[in-house]
Amino acid sequence: MGVNKNPPISVVITTYNRENLVVRALKSVLIQTFKDFEVLVVDDGSTDNTRQVIQEIQKEDKRVVYVYQENKGWPSALNTGLSNAQGRYIAFLDSDDEWLPEKLEKQVKVLEELKNVGLVSCCAFRIFPDGTKKLYKTPYLGIFKKTKWKLFWEKWGIITLSTVMIRKEVVERIGFFDEKIKAGADVDFYLRCIKEFDFYFIDEPLVNYYEFAQSLSKTQFWEKWIPEYEYILEKYKENFEKCKKAKSRFLRTLATCYLLKGDLKKAKKYQWEAILNHPINLRLYPQFLLTLFPNLYKMILFSKRKSF
């Protein structure tokens, strides 16, 4: 298939040592009902056969562009994709997820019709390692005004970056992904974006979001978020003072991370600060009491299969 030198959409797929999964992700892009796009597969230093499998697909479809970089981490790979993107719209896809066929078509339609919207997201099917499939809906429907940024900071509502399409203008206005943040770079990006642009949420699942068994233990998985959230709290210190409910949520998450790390002193400290920042949230009080019974808290948390 030929390629438009100036396609309206650039699709950015980031990958690292996922030669089998990235093929599934890429094929879900190539069968989209909207056909005019380029696909930038950014290989973040893979040591498996990722290069070879992508180059085989390139022979059949010239819309596929392979970009290799030395291993620098997910945010850097995203930024490499953004730097090479030619389209006026940019969509992201993690290499372990896949899109349903009408994803691009429906999101482009929103951005074409609503010029004030900078980011469009959607619902997703969340698929767990045991094969369980669950519909995850966003807490919002339709347009979400930037004037309500505090509400978004409190609840977020974007399930995964794989659901997101943005205007290229967003990057020109707010900048790239923050490479100091490894796992939560997308969260930081949304926090900045909602202050400048309206969002739109399609009330329909257009993505299969796969939850794979973590290579890290559950405790290690949560522990790695500690520096991420502490950095975000400091980075947006002034904004959080204007948005105490959002600050409370971040503090509560930090409390959970420290509890799972085994640092009960800091877990209690952050949970108490969460209460002080949003004292009318009655759910915070039993959570504070649970810091006295960490094993019980872990059992409750993991029984819900809760993750970020």
Indicate whether 3 belongs to any domain.
Answer: no
- What is the pLDDT at residue 215? 44
- What is the pLDDT at residue 306? 44
Domain stops at, among 210, 243, 273: 210
Domain stops at, among 165, 193, 210: 210
Strands 64-69 and 37-44, by their bridges, are parallel
- What is the pLDDT at residue 13? 98
pLDDT band at 256 (very low <50, low <70, confident <90, very high): confident
Indicate whether 1 belongs to any domain.
Answer: no
Residues 141 and 233 in one domain: no
CATH number of the domain bearing residue 292: 1.25.40
Number of domains in the chain: 2
Give me the half-sphere count of Cα atoms (radius 13 Å) on the Cβ side of residue 181. 22
Residues 196 and 145 in one domain: yes
For all residues of the chain together, what is the average pLDDT? Answer: 91
The whole-number average pLDDT for the span 81-98 is 97
The whole-number average pLDDT for the span 46-58 is 97
pLDDT in tens, 179-217: 999 888 999 999 999 999 999 999 999 999 998 755 445
Domain stops at, among 210, 230, 247: 210
Percentage of the chain beyond pLDDT 90 is 77
CA distance to 83, 98, 120, 130, 163, per residue, from 138 (Å): 29, 18, 12, 23, 11
The whole domain housing 263 covers: 218-303
Residues 112 and 237 in one domain: no
Q: Quick check: pTM over 0.85?
A: yes
pLDDT in tens, 139-148: 999 999 999 9
Indicate whether 240 belongs to any domain.
Answer: yes
The whole-number average pLDDT for the span 66-75 is 97
What are 91's strand-pairing partners? Answer: 11, 165
Residues 195 and 82 in one domain: yes
Specify the DSSP class assigned to residue 73. -
Specify the DSSP class assigned to residue 156. -
Residues 133 and 177 in one domain: yes
Would you list the DSSP string of 119-147? EEEEEEEEE-TTS-EEEE--S--EEE-GG
Alpha helices in the chain (DSSP H): 21-30, 50-60, 74-84, 103-113, 149-155, 168-174, 185-193, 218-223, 226-235, 237-242, 244-261, 264-277, 284-290, 294-303
Indicate whether 144 belongs to any domain.
Answer: yes
Indicate whether 286 belongs to any domain.
Answer: yes
What are 11's strand-pairing partners? Answer: 39, 91
pLDDT: is 253 or 189 the higher one?
A: 189
Residues 191 and 237 in one domain: no
The whole-number average pLDDT for the span 167-172 is 98
Indicate whether 308 belongs to any domain.
Answer: no
Distance CA 217, CA 223 (A): 10
Indicate whether 4 belongs to any domain.
Answer: no
The whole-number average pLDDT for the span 111-128 is 96
Residues 200 and 287 in one domain: no
Residues 256 and 126 in one domain: no
Residues 75 and 192 in one domain: yes
- What is the pLDDT at residue 297? 67
The whole-number average pLDDT for the span 271-298 is 86
- What is the pLDDT at residue 130? 87
pLDDT band at 298 (very low <50, low <70, confident <90, very high): low
Residues 161 and 262 in one domain: no
CATH number of the domain bearing residue 17: 3.90.550.10
pLDDT: is 67 or 223 the higher one?
A: 67
Indicate whether 273 belongs to any domain.
Answer: yes
Query: 17: phi > 0 → left, psi -120 to 50 → alpha, else beta; which?
Result: left
Residues 205 and 82 in one domain: yes
Residues 42, 80 contacting (CB under 8 angstroms):
yes
Residues 110 and 166 in one domain: yes
